[in-house]
């Protein structure tokens, strides 16, 4: 497995005002009219991050799986300084440089990228999955553990049941039951993938657990990388 050091770009936003302006500019480039790759084909990559704010360190992991078998094809991690303060709605600016470094360190194309977080299900309709997709051009989706600030009705109990994730009357994602009678996950489109396909991918990636294998594996890997990080306090 490869571990690299992430660098914060020289032009990275340093203020909330600048970050929101960047969000506004990039959001216009999100592609919402492509279905995305069929589930069970090619590769799929999970990305996740972990922080140690006391040491000003963030670690990211990218884990590529064979979409048909869910076997691990490649893994990479990156460690760097935290690139932006904690501001709700702007969390991608804390994560993107290190996530990009981990993706770049993979020895193979990532295919579909699954983020532990949000895409369109974001107050400004531009969460990490959308941000990452626009910057890389890759198809991306967000699979979150909670509904953020959005409303939903509990899906029916059987695996595969869904209900709309709503901001008022607008559907920004779906609550998806990946295991029968277990709390749902919350799926949203990032870039170059349709919502129905995003849900189908999530189900295919979660044959035995609530969370997709991409998220489970990337979460464990980034936490291990953070523990091993040599940055001092």
Distance (Å, whole) CA 223 – CA 212 = 17
**Residue 71: helix, strand or coil by DSSP?**
coil
CB 132 within 8 A of CB 138: yes
Task: Give the whole-angstrom CA distance, residue 35 versus residue 193.
Answer: 5
Three-state DSSP class for residue 76: strand
Tell me if 64 sits within 8 A of 110, measured CB to CB: yes
104 is an annotated ligand-binding site residue = no
**Strand, coil or helix: 209:** coil
Cβ count near 231 (within 10 Å): 15
Tell me which residue of 186, 133, 163, 1 sits closest to 79, measured CA to CA. Answer: 1
Does the annotation place 56 within a ligand binding site? no
Positive or negative CA dihedral for 172, 177, 178, 182? Answer: positive
Annotated binding-site residues for Mg(2+) read: 48, 116
Annotated binding-site residues read: 48, 116
């Amino acid at each position: 497995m490869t571990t690299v050091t992430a660098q914060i770009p020289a032009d990275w936003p340093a203020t909330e005002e600048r970050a929101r302006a960047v969000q506004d500019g990039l959001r216009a480039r999100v592609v919402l009219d492509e279905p995305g790759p069929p589930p069970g084909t090619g590769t799929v990559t999970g990305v996740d991050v972990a922080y140690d704010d006391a040491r000003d360190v963030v670690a990211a992991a990218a884990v590529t799986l064979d979409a048909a078998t869910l076997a691990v094809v490649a893994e990479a991690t990156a460690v760097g300084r935290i690139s932006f303060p904690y501001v709700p709605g702007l969390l991608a600016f804390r994560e993107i440089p290190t996530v990009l470094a981990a993706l770049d360190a993979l020895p193979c194309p990532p295919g579909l990228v699954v983020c532990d977080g949000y895409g369109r299900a974001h107050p400004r309709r531009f969460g990490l999955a959308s941000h990452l997709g626009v910057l890389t051009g890759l198809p991306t989706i967000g699979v979150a553990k909670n509904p953020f600030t959005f409303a939903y009705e509990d899906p029916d109990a059987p695996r595969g049941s869904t209900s709309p994730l709503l901001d008022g009357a607008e559907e920004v994602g779906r609550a998806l039951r990946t295991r029968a009678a277990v709390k749902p996950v919350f799926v949203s489109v990032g870039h170059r993938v349709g919502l129905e396909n995003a849900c189908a991918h999530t189900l295919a990636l979660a044959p035995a657990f609530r969370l997709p294998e991409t998220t489970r594996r990337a979460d464990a890997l980034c936490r291990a990388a953070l523990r091993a990080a040599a940055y001092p306090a």
